[in-house]
Amino acid sequence: MGEVLVLVLRSRRFMIGAVLFLAVLCFGVIGPQLTDRNPFQMAGGLFNPPSEKNILGTDNLGRDVFTQLMYGTGTSLLIGFVAGVVATGIGVTIGAVAGFKGGFVDELLMGITNVLITIPAIVVLILLSIAIKSRSATVMGVIIGITSWPWTARAVRAQTSSLKTREHVDLARISGYTTIELIVKEILPYMFSYIFMAFILQFSAGITNEATLSMLGLGPYQTVSLGVMLHWALLWEAVRTGAWWAFLPPVLFLAVASFSLMLINAGLDEVFNPRLRKS
């Protein structure tokens, strides 16, 4: 494990990604604790450009953009995180059970998974969001999570069904291990790196999915997120009126948050799949 850590820390992609992500994380989590401003409070005129009073100006209702950005980043990260946990959790569970059990259980679970893969997730997301009226950030994270697990499930299933033929699994079975023990102790450890990477990807996808939904007007209720900020900017024509401070910061933070997670993932991939590392 130590060697792996050294390799990970040596990866430039991973380190840059980690530093960027930590910066965004601090901004969104610690930032709101340090300010006494409220993201919904009037703090100046409409679409005021950046000034000393409002570092990033104000939005269409005169609210402070910088404060919104801090709160919004926090909310977006929370939604992404919840979505990542939910999607990875469901995906790993379904994939591991299908791959391990095989036979009818496998065919049933994979049938469902494959159908869900072909139906575009955004459609289900839109329909679900419409159906669930008051969506808190956490609920949104869950909604996003339960629509994005199928790819993880499919990959975990493939790996499980190949790992389960390894002889140490048979050996554990004839040592009296139960099915759950076999999956948890003999199979999942081999997928740990993969599962972690899948989580990172789902985390990133969760952030961008939130933004997509929010921009369409299906964002979290009574909270500000990066997507919600962009929705307002879109609705009130911030771009066309040239109020760059109202849309560039959330765009930038959205991009940096998802890109940094991607870098982390690419760095881990180099370490765990050394085939990709060219000698």
- Residue pair 56/245 in contact (Cβ under 8 Å)? The answer is yes
Residue 53: Cβ-neighbour burial (10 angstroms; 0-12, 13-18, 19+): exposed
Tell me, by CB under 8 A, how many residues bind another protein.
64
CA distance 241 to 236: 9
Q: How many CB atoms lie within 10 A of CB 218?
A: 20
Q: How many alpha carbons fall within 13 Å on the CB side of residue 29? A: 10
Among 40, 196, 236, 259, binds another protein (CB under 8 A): 259
Question: Where do runs of H (alpha helix) occur along 133-243?
Answer: 137-147, 150-163, 167-173, 179-181, 188-215, 226-235
Establish if 212 lies at the interface with another protein (CB under 8 A): yes
CA distance 98 to 49: 56
Q: Smaller CB distance to another protein: residue 88 or 208? A: 208
Select the span of 45-53, 72-80, 91-99, 185-193 touching another protein (CB under 8 A). 185-193
Establish if 173 lies at the interface with another protein (CB under 8 A): yes
Q: Smaller CB distance to another protein: residue 43 or 187? A: 187
Among 208, 220, 224, 268, binds another protein (CB under 8 A): 208
Among 172, 193, 196, 272, binds another protein (CB under 8 A): 172
| 3-class DSSP assignment, residue 50 | coil
What residue type is 75 in one-letter code? T
Select the span of 46-54, 66-74, 83-91, 186-194 touching another protein (CB under 8 A). 186-194
Among 211, 229, 268, 271, binds another protein (CB under 8 A): 211
Name the site residues for another protein (rule: CB under 8 A).
13, 114-115, 117-128, 130-133, 166-168, 170-177, 185-186, 189-190, 204, 208-209, 211-212, 215-218, 230, 234, 239-240, 242, 244, 247-248, 251, 254-255, 258-259, 261-263, 266, 275-276, 278-279
